[in-house]
C-alpha cells in the first residue's frame, strides 16, 4: 500500500483489520507509528470523524500532503462521508504525542473501571491531548505487574482486568509478582513525569505517595484515608510533599496533586472549593449529603416507610456495603467532611468530627444478620422524628455541616423548600454558602457514587496533572 495512490473506504478497512487482529500490520504497511494500532478506536476516531484535520492540518499532516494525494508517497483515503485524508507522517505524529507514566495502586471496583476507561479513551487522549497513558505498574493488595521500561502492554492490562474481575490476584498473573510495599513500587517503577494513582481504601499507600512527591512525581487520589489521617500527611499530600514548619498549613500546590474523586465521586466539589478559596470568596458554611445510600434511606423515611424495611431493601439491592453499618455509622461521610474542612485550612482531625450514626452503639458488635433482625426496634423513633419534622414543614436528611470551625455529621431537619429538602433518591448535593453566594448558595448536585463516575474523576485528574505547572 505504501507509495500507492489508494482511494478506499477507510472505515471498512479499519473495521476489517481490527476484526481479524491485523490492525498493527495495516498501520505498519502504511507507515503509521505503533500507537495508532493500540486498538481500532484511535485510528477510527482520528480519520473517520476528521478530528485531526479540524484541529489543524498544518500540525499533524506533513507539508505537501494534499499534493501527495494525487501523486505518490503517503496513502490517500476517503471515509464513508466522502471526506479525504492523507495518512500523517510517523515523525510528525510522534513529535506531538507524549507518554504519561502511570503507577496504579488499587484494582478493585474503581481501579478496574479506571483501567477500562484508560483503554477506551486511547483515541480521545491522543487526538485531543497528545497523550498516551503508559502504565508502568498496576498493584493490588498483595501483588503487582511491573514494567518500568516499556510499560505494560494493553493486552496484558486486559488480561489483568479479566483476572481481577474473576476474583483473582495480580500475584497469580504469569507476569505478576508479590508487592512489597508502595514505597518500593514507586522506587522501582517511577520515572520523571510519573503520576501515582491511589484507588485503594487503605492508608498503606501513604509512604509511596509521599515518596512520589519527594521525587517530584504527581499524585491523584480516589482514596480518602491518606487525606484524613494525621494533619501533617494531608499537608504534605496537598503541598507537593512540603512539611510545614509550624502549625500553619504549607502553601497549596495544586500542580502536584489532585483528589477530586474523594468527595462526591465525579462531582466537582473539590475543584469548586479550591476555586472559591483561590478567589477570596470566604466560605461561611458547607452543607451536603455525601452518601447515596443514606440519601436512599432518608427518602424512604420521608415517604413514610419503616426504617428497618428501607435498610433491609438497600442491603438486598447491594446499595450498602456488605455490613450496612459501614454506611449507617456515618464514618465515610465524616471523612469527606474532614477533607472539605481541611480544604478551608482548618486544623482538624477525624476525632474532631461530631458523628451521629443511624443505630445505637450497642448494636455495633452484632453479626450482620442479627443486626438486620434487630432493626425494627428503631422504626418507631425514626417515624416520630419524621413526623415532627413534617409538622414544621421540614424533612429529615443525613448531612454533613461544616461551619464555625466545627464539622457535624448526622440526621438533621431541613426546610422542604431548601435544596437539601428537595433532594430525592441517591444523588449527592452540596451547598456552599459564601461571601458572594449569599443568601442563595452555590449548589452542586448529581450522581455522587459509583465506580464509573469515580474513575472518570480520577482520569480527569490525571489528564489535568499532565498539563499542570510543577
How many whole angstroms from its chain centre is CA 101?
17
DSSP 8-state symbol, 203: G
Residue 136 lies in a domain: yes
DSSP 8-state symbol, 256: T
pLDDT in tens, 204-246: 999 999 999 999 999 999 999 999 999 999 999 998 655 555 5
pLDDT in tens, 391-425: 999 999 999 999 999 999 999 999 999 999 999 88
Same domain, 210 and 290: no
pLDDT in tens, 339-389: 999 999 999 999 999 999 999 999 999 999 999 999 999 999 999 999 999
Q: How many domains does the chain have?
A: 3
Cell of 242: 512540603
pLDDT at 248: 57
pLDDT in tens, 109-141: 999 999 999 999 998 999 889 999 999 999 999
Last residue of a domain, one of 61, 92, 123: 92
Same domain, 101 and 87: no
pLDDT in tens, 249-265: 566 667 899 999 999 98
The pLDDT-based confidence of 312 (bands split at 50, 70, 90) is very high
Scanning 269-367, the segments in alpha helix (DSSP H) are 269-278, 292-302, 307-316, 325-328, 331-343
DSSP labels, 129-186: H-EEEEEEEEE-SSEEEE-TTT---HHHHHHHHHHHHTT--GGGSTTEEE---HHHHH
Identify whether the C-beta of residue 430 lies closer than 8 Å to the C-beta of residue 269: yes
Structural domain range at position 138: 97-265+453-467
Residue 274 lies in a domain: no
Identify whether the C-beta of residue 145 lies closer than 8 Å to the C-beta of residue 172: no
pLDDT at 74: 39
Residue 415 lies in a domain: yes
| Count of CA atoms in the C-beta half-sphere (13 A) of 275 | 9
First-to-last CA distance in the chain?
Answer: 45
Mean pLDDT of the chain: 83
Among 159, 202, 195, 158, residue whose Cα is nearest residue 179: 202
Number of Cβ within a 10 Å radius of residue 124: 16
pLDDT at 78: 38
**Dist CA 350 CA 371 (whole Å):** 26
Residue 157 lies in a domain: yes
The pLDDT-based confidence of 179 (bands split at 50, 70, 90) is confident
Same domain, 175 and 251: yes
Listed as own residue / partner, the contacts of 58-67 with beta carbons closer than 8 Å and 24 or more positions apart are: 59/96, 60/88, 60/92, 60/93, 60/96, 61/86, 61/88, 61/92, 62/88, 62/89, 62/92
**Dist CA 128 CA 86 (whole Å):** 19
Same domain, 113 and 62: no
Same domain, 463 and 365: no
Cell of 243: 512539611
DSSP 8-state symbol, 429: E
Give the Cα-Cα-Cα angle 198, 140, 179 (nearest 5 degrees): 105
Same domain, 297 and 347: yes
Number of Cβ within a 10 Å radius of residue 197: 31
Residue 1 lies in a domain: no
pLDDT in tens, 81-100: 444 444 444 444 445 679 99
CATH value at residue 205: 3.40.50.720
**Dist CA 172 CA 182 (whole Å):** 19
Same domain, 71 and 114: no
Catalytic (active-site) positions: 336
Residue 353 lies in a domain: yes
Count Cβ neighbours within 10 Å for each residue of 202-227 and write b for 16 or more, e otherwise. Answer: ebebbebbbbbbeeebbbbbbbbbbb
Same domain, 237 and 305: no
pTM of the predicted model over 0.85: no
Cell of 427: 444523588
The pLDDT-based confidence of 29 (bands split at 50, 70, 90) is low
DSSP labels, 252-291: P-TTTEE-GGGTTTTS-HHHHHHHHHHTT--EEEEEEE--
Same domain, 230 and 244: yes
Last residue of a domain, one of 27, 60, 92: 92
The pLDDT-based confidence of 77 (bands split at 50, 70, 90) is very low
The answer to whether residue 5 scores a pLDDT higher than 50 is no
Same domain, 41 and 112: no
Same domain, 166 and 210: yes
Residue 403 lies in a domain: yes
Pairing of strands 143-146, 131-139: antiparallel
Last residue of a domain, one of 38, 68, 92: 92
pLDDT at 468: 87
**Dist CA 151 CA 409 (whole Å):** 44
Same domain, 51 and 118: no
Residue 15 lies in a domain: yes
Cell of 3: 507509495
62 membership: H or E segment, kind and range: none
CATH value at residue 364: 3.30.360.10
Amino acid at each position: 500500500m505504501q507509495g500507492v495512490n489508494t482511494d478506499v473506504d477507510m472505515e471498512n478497512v479499519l473495521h476489517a483489520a481490527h476484526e481479524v487482529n491485523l490492525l498493527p500490520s495495516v498501520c505498519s504497511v502504511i507507515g503509521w507509528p505503533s500507537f495508532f494500532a493500540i486498538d481500532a478506536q484511535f485510528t477510527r476516531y482520528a480519520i473517520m470523524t476528521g478530528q485531526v484535520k479540524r484541529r489543524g492540518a498544518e500540525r499533524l499532516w506533513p507539508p505537501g500532503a494534499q499534493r501527495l494525494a494525487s501523486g505518490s508517497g503517503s496513502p490517500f483515503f476517503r471515509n464513508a462521508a466522502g471526506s479525504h485524508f492523507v495518512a500523517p507522517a510517523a515523525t510528525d505524529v510522534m513529535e506531538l504525542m507524549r507518554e504519561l507514566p502511570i503507577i496504579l495502586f488499587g484494582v478493585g471496583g474503581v481501579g478496574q473501571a479506571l483501567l477500562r476507561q484508560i483503554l477506551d479513551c486511547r483515541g480521545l487522549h491522543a487526538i485531543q491531548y497528545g497523550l498516551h497513558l503508559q502504565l508502568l505498574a498496576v498493584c493490588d493488595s498483595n501483588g503487582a505487574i511491573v514494567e518500568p521500561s516499556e510499560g505494560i502492554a494493553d493486552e496484558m492490562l486486559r488480561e489483568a482486568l479479566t483476572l481481577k474481575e474473576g476474583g483473582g490476584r495480580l500475584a497469580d498473573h504469569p507476569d505478576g509478582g508479590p508487592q512489597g510495599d508502595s514505597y518500593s513500587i514507586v522506587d522501582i517503577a517511577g520515572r520523571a513525569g510519573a503520576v501515582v494513582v491511589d484507588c485503594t481504601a487503605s492508608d498503606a499507600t501513604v509512604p509511596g505517595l509521599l515518596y512520589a512527591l519527594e521525587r517530584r512525581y504527581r499524585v491523584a487520589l480516589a482514596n480518602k484515608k491518606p487525606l484524613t489521617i494525621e494533619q501533617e500527611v494531608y499537608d504534605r499530600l496537598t503541598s507537593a510533599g512540603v512539611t510545614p514548619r509550624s502549625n500553619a498549613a504549607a502553601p497549596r500546590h495544586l500542580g502536584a496533586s489532585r483528589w477530586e474523586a474523594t468527595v462526591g465521586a465525579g462531582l466537582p466539589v473539590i475543584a469548586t472549593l479550591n476555586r472559591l478559596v483561590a478567589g477570596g470568596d470566604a466560605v461561611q458554611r458547607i452543607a451536603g449529603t455525601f452518601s447515596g445510600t443514606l440519601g436512599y434511606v432518608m427518602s424512604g423515611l420521608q415517604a413514610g416507610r419503616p426504617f428497618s424495611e428501607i435498610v433491609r431493601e438497600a442491603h438486598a439491592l447491594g446499595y450498602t456495603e456488605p455490613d450496612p453499618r459501614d454506611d449507617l455509622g456515618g464514618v465515610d461521610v465524616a471523612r469527606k467532611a474532614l477533607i472539605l474542612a481541611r480544604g478551608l485550612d482548618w486544623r482538624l482531625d477525624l476525632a474532631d468530627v461530631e458523628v451521629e450514626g443511624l443505630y445505637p452503639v450497642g448494636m455495633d458488635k452484632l453479626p450482620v444478620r442479627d443486626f438486620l433482625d434487630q432493626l425494627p426496634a428503631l422504626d418507631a423513633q425514626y417515624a416520630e422524628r419524621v413526623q415532627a419534622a413534617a409538622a414544621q414543614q421540614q424533612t429529615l436528611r443525613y448531612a454533613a455541616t461544616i461551619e464555625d470551625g466545627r464539622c457535624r455529621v448526622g440526621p438533621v431537619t431541613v426546610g422542604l423548600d431548601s435544596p437539601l429538602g428537595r433532594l430525592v433518591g441517591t444523588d449527592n448535593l452540596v451547598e456552599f454558602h459564601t461571601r458572594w453566594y449569599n443568601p442563595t448558595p452555590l449548589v452542586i448536585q448529581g450522581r455522587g457514587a459509583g465506580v464509573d463516575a469515580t474513575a472518570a474523576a480520577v482520569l480527569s485528574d490525571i489528564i489535568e496533572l499532565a498539563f499542570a505547572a510543577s
